A and B are shown apart, each in its own frame.
Chain A
Amino acid sequence: MDDDPRADRTLKPAALALYDITKRFGAFTALESVSLLIDSGRITALLGENGAGKTTLMRIAFGMIQPDAGSIVIEGQQTRFNSPADAIAAGIGMVHQQFSLIPAMTVAENVALGGKGRFSFDETASLLRDVADRTGLSIDPRARVADLGSAERQKLEIIRTIAHDAHVMILDEPTAVLTPRDTVELFKQLRTFAASGGAVVLITHKLRDALEHADDVSVLRRGRLALSTSMSEVNEASLVNAMLGDTPHVVTSKESKPAGSTVIASLDKARLRDRTSGRTMNVSLQIRSGEIVGIAALNGAAIPLLRMLAARSQTSTGSATLPARIGFVPENRHDEALIDDFSLVENLALADAGKIDGLISWSTIERETRTVISQFDVRTPDPNTSPAKLSGGNQQRFVLGRELRNSPDLLVLENPTQGLDVNASAFVHEQIRHARTNGAAVVFYSSDLDELADLSDRVIVVSGETLIEVGPDRDAIGRALLGAQPVDER
């Protein structure tokens, strides 16, 4: 392969090499003979739609699951991981999507966690100083994790990984919980780590992050390697092509129409209380029929507002005037939207469970469920299946269908496309627009600024203790969000 731009890698063994990895779950082949080389000093992006096999591949690299075939080679030496402990010992580190830190403990204690012997604050602090000297990443070892923001926590995860002597760092969707500003900071940290000789693997949905910050890119499509090259060889279009293959890319077109005159929901000096931070704010707001209102906020600051609009919480002062029929799609499908132990039919009945009395007519509900399944194209063997057996996209289709089946006057959604692939996201967008066409008012929160700009008629930014209204423009939203953060002078 003389024309491979990275042919000279044979001079130096890859930091992590996976050869011909195959993994099957029952009849389903998650990975089919996938090979991947991760070089030191570089950031490698691993892209792919949901279910393409990214996470499975990285779980194999981290020893969480074992491949059916193939081999793992580290710095030229063939190895076998029976558990994450083996992988950590071999210098592989993983920064998880959900942070694995203990909030009640200090930074030093969290770093020492998983080590051996007795805990010594001084030793851990000096370990952290070493890391800071080597990579420039520093953190106060005495700080309590509970007092750190999500960006700081992620930084701590990265520092901890380095402190445990990782040469290869795997990050699973690291920017999902970060603001644009913190994202820039994260990539600076990753670059520093790479410059000190480390290798970074970045699992992401966000093409933009990959294009801007990665040196190499590999794309998985339905369990096979679709592309593996240096980032300079590709552009956005070719990456999308590699990710989606022959499936046509669903283009969502921007259409806007004036809002109706009917006020569907209004808050008048309603008091919102954030349970995690304990902060309160008083909010006045009107939502009209036939409009899509996007909500932008940092780190879940929009949740109290959305919960109040969805009639899931009450205000202690002021007033909230809400319609009787409200559809609500919470962000956390597993905990708040669906019950895994129940069938789809029972999950449909759940929506009315608080209102109804007397007997339940299961035949009626089963008919309704079938209607939702066919209208919202939920791929399921039958209505008595558990939602746990469906993919994330199909679960979300079902939840949307359930919440929209009675044409509610107000639809409230929290990050409705998070973790969904391109097609499922497009479907959600289509349904949101369709609800607006039918005269419903839609309020949705998204952590994706592009999505907010694309879909909304107007955008409300939760900024500190006030609400700022901006037009559906990415830069304007981004600026309003950044303005919400005190400028760090350091």
Chain B
Amino acid sequence: MNAELALAGDALVRATPLIIAGLAVAFAFRGGVFNIGAEGQLLVGAIAATAVTLSSGEMLGRLAVVLAIIAGAIAGAAWAWIAAELKRRFHVLEIISTIMLNFIAIHLVSFLVRGPLQEPTRIYPQTETFIRSARLPVLVPGTRLHMGFALAIVLAIGLAWAFKRTAFGFRVRATGASPSAAKVAGLIDTEKTSLIVFLVSGALAGIAGSVEVSGVTFALYENLSPGYGYTAIAVALIAGLNPVGIIASGIFFGILETGASALQREFAIPSSLASVVEATLIIAALTIAAVRGRHTLIQPVKS
């Protein structure tokens, strides 16, 4: 098969965790929760998926992938729940706690791949490789594009639908837009809604992590994520927190990052150029949002 197709596949592969984690960020931000911890939730999701796959992959066959993704979602939600509970009990700002939890998750991965989950030969700091049946099936032959991408699209459309059409999605939006009006005019239990937002956001980020290990790396190791959880914030913001828009912005970032690696390989152009372009875009998007005055994060003070 030709190289262009493979490269296009790689871009979409790269976009997959960005889209899913971007949805996690967007869901949290729309619900008034400033979850900066998609990175950490993604990593614990990857850990859980790896643990499930390695322990029961042979036994379960094809079902192992499904279980791995579910385990990743649960782990991500649990990781986010820590921040939710810290906020509820001690009023710890989630912006702080989720970032801190990112570092814990990063080091947890380091510990696990050198300790309990290290591959049997004890040479490499990584886990055993997943058996073939426990991997996400490839979507387009000749590329590495896996089912995870389809899942990302389904999740994005599902989230958009939930925001627009369901009472639950509406409660999340109302709580995010104005907790006081949601409580007084809408009689919404905003504390409960906020907890659910934490959990769902964490679960989505956890799915991103499990999809990455089950679809791309087939093993857990350090630096599994080149900052997917942070780039996801940019992906979400540039899409204006719109789930369907996140598909486009996620793919865009995927192309940018894959293309940058290719440029470095072929023409020795530093791949950090892509980071410069990304950062410039984020500043531009935030400025446009601020000027329009419709952004939840940086709404200008009304006089």
Whether the pair B181, A351 counts as a contact (CB closer than 8 A) is: no
Please report the C-alpha to C-alpha distance between residue A332 and residue B185 in the assembled complex, in whole angstroms. Answer: 11
A39-92 interface (Cβ within 8 A of B): 64
Please report the C-alpha to C-alpha distance between residue A64 and residue B303 in the assembled complex, in whole angstroms. Answer: 10
- In the complex, residue of chain A having the shortest beta-carbon distance to the beta carbon of B190: A354
Q: How many residues of B contact A (CB 8 A)?
A: 23
- In the complex, residue of chain A having the shortest beta-carbon distance to the beta carbon of B168: A357
Given A330-B184, A336-B184, A360-B167, also A354-B189 (CB < 8 A): yes
Given A350-B185, A353-B187, also A339-B165 (CB < 8 A): no
Please report the C-alpha to C-alpha distance between residue A357 and residue B169 in the assembled complex, in whole angstroms. Answer: 10
Q: Is B272 positioned at the interface, with any CB of A under 8 Å from its CB?
A: no
Question: How far is the CB of B194 from the nearest CB of chain A, in Å?
Answer: 14
Q: Is B138 positioned at the interface, with any CB of A under 8 Å from its CB?
A: no
Q: Is A159 positioned at the interface, with any CB of B under 8 Å from its CB?
A: no
Whether the pair A337, B167 counts as a contact (CB closer than 8 A) is: no
- Inter-chain contacts of A118 with B (CB < 8 A): none
- Inter-chain contacts of B166 with A (CB < 8 A): 358-360
Whether the pair B177, A336 counts as a contact (CB closer than 8 A) is: no
Whether the pair A354, B184 counts as a contact (CB closer than 8 A) is: no
Q: Is A342 positioned at the interface, with any CB of B under 8 Å from its CB?
A: yes
Please report the C-alpha to C-alpha distance between residue A346 and residue B186 in the assembled complex, in whole angstroms. Answer: 11
- Inter-chain contacts of B180 with A (CB < 8 A): 332, 335-336
Of B167, B173, B174, the residue contacting A357 (CB under 8 A) is B167
Which residue, of B166, B184, B185, B189, has the highest number of chain A Cβ atoms within 10 A? B185
Please report the C-alpha to C-alpha distance between residue A328 and residue B183 in the assembled complex, in whole angstroms. Answer: 12
Whether the pair A335, B181 counts as a contact (CB closer than 8 A) is: yes
Whether the pair A358, B182 counts as a contact (CB closer than 8 A) is: no
- In the complex, residue of chain B having the shortest beta-carbon distance to the beta carbon of A386: B294
Whether the pair A336, B189 counts as a contact (CB closer than 8 A) is: no
Of B173, B184, B187, B189, the residue contacting A337 (CB under 8 A) is B184
- Inter-chain contacts of B303 with A (CB < 8 A): 64
Question: How far is the CB of B161 from the nearest CB of chain A, in Å?
Answer: 10
A318-361 interface (Cβ within 8 A of B): 328, 330, 332, 335-342, 346-347, 349-360
- Inter-chain contacts of B186 with A (CB < 8 A): 350-354
User: Main SS of chain A's interface residues?
Assistant: loop
Of A311, A312, A338, A360, the residue contacting B170 (CB under 8 A) is A360
Given A341-B294, A342-B177, also A353-B184 (CB < 8 A): no
Please report the C-alpha to C-alpha distance between residue A340 and residue B188 in the assembled complex, in whole angstroms. Answer: 17
- Inter-chain contacts of A360 with B (CB < 8 A): 165-167, 170
Whether the pair A350, B181 counts as a contact (CB closer than 8 A) is: yes
Please report the C-alpha to C-alpha distance between residue A359 and residue B296 in the assembled complex, in whole angstroms. Answer: 25
Whether the pair A312, B174 counts as a contact (CB closer than 8 A) is: no
Question: How far is the CB of A310 from the nearest CB of chain B, in Å?
Answer: 9
- Inter-chain contacts of A339 with B (CB < 8 A): 174, 177-178, 181-182
Chain A residues touching B, range: 20 to 34
Whether the pair A356, B182 counts as a contact (CB closer than 8 A) is: no
Please report the C-alpha to C-alpha distance between residue A407 and residue B303 in the assembled complex, in whole angstroms. Answer: 36
Given A341-B177, A349-B170, A353-B174, also A336-B165 (CB < 8 A): no
Question: How far is the CB of B64 from the nearest CB of chain A, in Å?
Answer: 34
Please report the C-alpha to C-alpha distance between residue A346 and residue B303 in the assembled complex, in whole angstroms. Answer: 24
Whether the pair A353, B171 counts as a contact (CB closer than 8 A) is: yes
Question: How far is the CB of A410 from the nearest CB of chain B, in Å?
Answer: 14
Question: How far is the CB of B120 from the nearest CB of chain A, in Å?
Answer: 50
Whether the pair B167, A353 counts as a contact (CB closer than 8 A) is: yes
Please report the C-alpha to C-alpha distance between residue A346 and residue B173 in the assembled complex, in whole angstroms. Answer: 10
- Inter-chain contacts of A312 with B (CB < 8 A): 183-184, 187
- Inter-chain contacts of A342 with B (CB < 8 A): 173-174, 177
Given A335-B178, A356-B167, also A330-B187 (CB < 8 A): no
- In the complex, residue of chain B having the shortest beta-carbon distance to the beta carbon of A352: B186
Please report the C-alpha to C-alpha distance between residue A359 and residue B166 in the assembled complex, in whole angstroms. Answer: 4
- Inter-chain contacts of B181 with A (CB < 8 A): 335-339, 350
Please report the C-alpha to C-alpha distance between residue A351 and residue B188 in the assembled complex, in whole angstroms. Answer: 9
A354-406 interface (Cβ within 8 A of B): 354-360, 362
- In the complex, residue of chain B having the shortest beta-carbon distance to the beta carbon of A349: B170
Question: How far is the CB of A293 from the nearest CB of chain B, in Å?
Answer: 21
Q: Render B181-215 as a binary contact track against A, CB cut-off 8 A, 1 for contact.
A: 11111111100000000000000000000000000
Please report the C-alpha to C-alpha distance between residue A126 and residue B290 in the assembled complex, in whole angstroms. Answer: 45
Please report the C-alpha to C-alpha distance between residue A119 and residue B245 in the assembled complex, in whole angstroms. Answer: 52
Question: How far is the CB of B108 from the nearest CB of chain A, in Å?
Answer: 38
- Inter-chain contacts of B182 with A (CB < 8 A): 339, 350, 353
Please report the C-alpha to C-alpha distance between residue A355 and residue B186 in the assembled complex, in whole angstroms. Answer: 9
Question: How far is the CB of B185 from the nearest CB of chain A, in Å?
Answer: 5
Please report the C-alpha to C-alpha distance between residue A337 and residue B182 in the assembled complex, in whole angstroms. Answer: 8
Which residue, of A340, A353, A360, has the highest number of chain B Cβ atoms within 10 A? A353
- Inter-chain contacts of B185 with A (CB < 8 A): 328, 330, 336-338, 347, 350-351
Of B173, B178, B188, B294, the residue contacting A354 (CB under 8 A) is B188
Please report the C-alpha to C-alpha distance between residue A341 and residue B185 in the assembled complex, in whole angstroms. Answer: 15
- Inter-chain contacts of B173 with A (CB < 8 A): 342
- Inter-chain contacts of A346 with B (CB < 8 A): 170
Please report the C-alpha to C-alpha distance between residue A367 and residue B174 in the assembled complex, in whole angstroms. Answer: 21
Given A335-B178, A341-B294, also A359-B167 (CB < 8 A): yes
- Inter-chain contacts of A330 with B (CB < 8 A): 184-185
Question: How far is the CB of B142 from the nearest CB of chain A, in Å?
Answer: 41
Please report the C-alpha to C-alpha distance between residue A351 and residue B171 in the assembled complex, in whole angstroms. Answer: 11
Please report the C-alpha to C-alpha distance between residue A360 and residue B171 in the assembled complex, in whole angstroms. Answer: 11
Please report the C-alpha to C-alpha distance between residue A360 and residue B162 in the assembled complex, in whole angstroms. Answer: 10
Whether the pair B188, A353 counts as a contact (CB closer than 8 A) is: yes
- Inter-chain contacts of B168 with A (CB < 8 A): 357
- In the complex, residue of chain B having the shortest beta-carbon distance to the beta carbon of A326: B187
Question: How far is the CB of B175 from the nearest CB of chain A, in Å?
Answer: 9
- In the complex, residue of chain B having the shortest beta-carbon distance to the beta carbon of A307: B184
3 closest pairs, A vs B, by CB?
Answer: A354-B187, A353-B186, A336-B184
- Given contacts A330-B184, A342-B177, 16 further A-B pairs with CB under 8 A are A64-B303, A312-B184, A328-B184, A335-B178, A336-B180, A336-B181, A337-B185, A339-B178, A341-B294, A342-B173, A346-B170, A350-B186, A353-B170, A354-B186, A354-B188, A358-B167
Residues of A within 8 A of B (CB): 64, 311-312, 328, 330, 332, 335-342, 346-347, 349-360, 362
Q: Can you sample 28 A-B contacts with CB below 8 Å?
A: A312-B184, A332-B180, A335-B181, A336-B180, A336-B184, A336-B185, A338-B181, A338-B185, A339-B181, A340-B177, A340-B178, A342-B174, A347-B185, A350-B181, A350-B182, A350-B185, A351-B186, A353-B167, A353-B171, A353-B182, A353-B188, A354-B187, A356-B167, A358-B166, A358-B167, A360-B165, A360-B166, A362-B165
